Structure 1
Amino acid sequence: MSGDLVIRNMTRAELDRLIGWAATEGWNPGLHDAALFWATDPDAFIAAELDGELIGAGAITSYGGAFGFMGFFIVRPAFRGRGLGNALWHARRDRLIARLRPGASIGLDGVFAMQDYYARGGFVFSHRNLRFRAEVPDSPPHSPHWPHSPDSPDPSRSDDVIVPLDEVPFDDVLAYDRTCFPAAREAFLRGWIRQEEGLALGCLRQGRLGGFGVVRRCGDGCKIGPLFADDADAAEALYAHLAAFAAGGPVFLDVPENHPAAMALAHRHGMTEVFGCARMYLGPAPGLVHKRIFGITTFELG
């Protein structure tokens, strides 16, 4: 390589470029991801600069120092195979460790081809998160479940009510999210559930929050994430309402393979697997209520 590789924090404008690279890689970012991610943790975005040129970047998000997540790791194709990505990845890992409390864990969703590389960096495999895609009809049936199957969970239980998530006390949303995510992420959630060109819904059971989900518009169709629910009935009802937001185009859901009911939901709706990542942790695997996780939030920030 020529010149010196400089590892530094990114500017807000450079994050827009990173989002563009992600779109080129086929990761299909949300239309407002850059603003939402920056508001969550502006110190998370790390650039690799060579001879004054931005050649790679990635995120090292800290959630209050209690949990970290590495994502958005991209090196421009012309600069791959020269050790630059290796230098950037290790610098990011070490910087994130320094941003966290002693003993805090770090997670990542890495493409399968990089799983052995991340293992050499200390990360231990947990499970696979698989991206599924379905085409949503232009005019989905009024019933909140489509297509109908006699073996499907009942999405219209008398004690389940789907409501805009803004009608649910935010503290209840934050508490529910904390059972499915390794740390409190108040700043992220406040923006995520109120984002433009998105829809956030909750499932109320006798007045208690029994799950919630968010769908957002992306360059190609819409993504649902997160999709958290007490059980398959609540997840079914939320999914059907959220998927209807994507009418006339594709909808994507990133499903944890270690949750059979979540995989069953994807298969029940005729979804096709199109991508996947290995969830890995540096440090102890967090104690989550996995039976509630029907769809993760993002591959980029966890």
Structure 2
Amino acid sequence: MSSASTAVHIQYRSMLESDFPAAHGLSQAVHWRHRPEDWQLLHHLGSGFVAECDGDVIGTALWWSHGDDYASLGMVIVSPEAQGRGIGGELMNRLLEAIGERNTLLHATPAGQPLYEKLGFEVFGQVHQYQGTVAPRVPVAPPQGTRLRAAEAGDGAALAELASRAAGMVRTRVVNELLRTAEGVVIEDDNSNPVGFGILRSFGQGDIIGPVVAPDAEHARALLSHLAAKRTGSFVRIDMSDEHGLDSLLSELGLAHVDTPVAMVWGEAPQADPGIHQFAIASQAFF
């Protein structure tokens, strides 16, 4: 049977909750460590499409809105057996139609980068993935004049503002959802004003730390070391932004640099507030 005749039987539709088991199977097939619960969070924060052939899901793609001006996309997966039929390109076309005129961000693997370049995406940065079993280490004390505390339900608005300034785009929904379902730590000044924060949540084969938002590397070091200490002896992943300046700490924590996907944009890259920095992202999918 030719690839052209096979393509006639491929249908595209919106992703449903009932698709999570099949989507999880696809991510396993390409050696991504997402759990069914991770797919649930990704879909809850966004929406997307599946490609279906004879009742089987053979492709997925999701996107997330970050206000009126920005969006991100990810989880573009095609079953290894179905690759080469243009399914990834068709899923991308449907995502971009849904996203509209928003500036659109993604993180690309080497395999996916050529497709995105054909669609007009350009490289504007990198993300550095670290992971490993956390080694015992005394957490770094916060800078003088600041203190650490657990994040609380009432912190949502203040932390979302910090995250939005650091990312250069609206992060309200992402931050509020992560605060609801994960463990957060806030660093605040003597007037009890939050100046940075970090979030730790279950992901993949262990936990992931991110986002980590702080005014400088000294504050970020305290947040990151404090969160990592909560998982001493366990597997942790963290996706660091460019020029984060925390290589020595990550090494001391036992986290190895394992991958460097490129960040790409269609349109204009977000412009962050220079007074606050996103040292670690929440996810390579929804940034």
TM-score, normalised to structure 1, is 0.84
Assess if the C-alpha contact under 8 Å between 2:163 and 2:278 holds in 1: no
The answer as to 2:12 corresponding to 1:4 is no
Supply the distance in 2 between the matched residues of 1:120 and 1:283 (Cα, whole angstroms): 14
Between 22-31 and 59-68, the greater mean CA deviation after superposition: 22-31
Change in Cα spacing, 1:215 to 1:21, as seen in structure 2 (3 Å) is farther
Change in Cα spacing, 1:242 to 1:21, as seen in structure 2 (3 Å) is farther
Supply the distance in 1 between the matched residues of 2:60 and 2:174 (Cα, whole angstroms): 21
Supply the distance in 1 between the matched residues of 2:83 and 2:268 (Cα, whole angstroms): 31
Assess if the C-alpha contact under 8 Å between 1:227 and 1:235 holds in 2: yes
**Match of residue 126 from structure 1:** 124
Paired residues, what number? 280
Supply the distance in 1 between the matched residues of 2:31 and 2:165 (Cα, whole angstroms): 31
Change in Cα spacing, 1:96 to 1:264, as seen in structure 2 (3 Å) is farther
Assess if the C-alpha contact under 8 Å between 1:133 and 1:273 holds in 2: yes
Supply the distance in 2 between the matched residues of 1:16 and 1:53 (Cα, whole angstroms): 11
Deviation string, structure 1 residues 57-110 (Cα, Å, up to 9, x no partner): 11022233331111011001110122222222223223322xxxx4x2000001
Question: Secondary structure in 2 aligned to 1:194?
Answer: helix
5+ long unaligned stretches in structure 2: none
Question: Secondary structure in 2 aligned to 1:175?
Answer: helix
Supply the distance in 2 between the matched residues of 1:93 and 1:14 (Cα, whole angstroms): 21
Q: Give the AA of the match of 1:61.
A: W
Correspondences of 1:8-47 after superposition (within 5 Å): 8-29=13-34, 32-41=37-46, 44-47=47-50
Q: What RMSD in Å do the two structures reach over aligned CA positions?
A: 2.2
Q: Give the AA of the match of 1:13.
A: S
The answer as to 2:97 corresponding to 1:94 is yes
Supply the distance in 2 between the matched residues of 1:40 and 1:133 (Cα, whole angstroms): 25
The answer as to 2:215 corresponding to 1:213 is no
Correspondences of 1:1-302 after superposition (within 5 Å): 1=3, 2=6, 3-29=8-34, 32-41=37-46, 44-97=47-100, 102=101, 104-137=102-135, 140-141=136-137, 143-145=138-140, 155-166=141-152, 169-195=155-181, 198-206=182-190, 207-257=192-242, 259-263=243-247, 265-267=249-251, 269-289=253-273, 292-302=277-287
Q: CA deviation at 1:297?
A: 0.9
Assess if the C-alpha contact under 8 Å between 2:132 and 2:237 holds in 1: yes
Change in Cα spacing, 1:295 to 1:116, as seen in structure 2 (3 Å) is same
Percent identity between matched residues is: 23
Assess if the C-alpha contact under 8 Å between 2:26 and 2:58 holds in 1: no
Between 210-219 and 159-168, the greater mean CA deviation after superposition: 159-168
Deviation string, structure 1 residues 5-26 (Cα, Å, up to 9, x no partner): 2221011121343234324433
Change in Cα spacing, 1:243 to 1:31, as seen in structure 2 (3 Å) is farther
Q: CA deviation at 1:214?
A: 0.9
Q: CA deviation at 1:31?
A: 6.7
Assess if the C-alpha contact under 8 Å between 2:142 and 2:148 holds in 1: no
Question: Secondary structure in 2 aligned to 1:112?
Answer: coil
Supply the distance in 1 between the matched residues of 2:57 and 2:210 (Cα, whole angstroms): 30
Change in Cα spacing, 1:168 to 1:95, as seen in structure 2 (3 Å) is closer
Between 279-288 and 6-15, the greater mean CA deviation after superposition: 6-15
Q: CA deviation at 1:55?
A: 0.7
Assess if the C-alpha contact under 8 Å between 1:15 and 1:45 holds in 2: no
Change in Cα spacing, 1:243 to 1:293, as seen in structure 2 (3 Å) is same
Supply the distance in 1 between the matched residues of 2:216 and 2:252 (Cα, whole angstroms): 15
Supply the distance in 2 between the matched residues of 1:298 and 1:156 (Cα, whole angstroms): 25
Q: CA deviation at 1:263?
A: 4.5
Question: Secondary structure in 1 aligned to 2:107?
Answer: strand
Between 285-294 and 44-53, the greater mean CA deviation after superposition: 285-294
Assess if the C-alpha contact under 8 Å between 1:194 and 1:200 holds in 2: no
Q: Give the AA of the match of 2:255.
A: M
Q: CA deviation at 1:128?
A: 1.1
TM-score, normalised to structure 2, is 0.88
Supply the distance in 2 between the matched residues of 1:222 and 1:215 (Cα, whole angstroms): 7
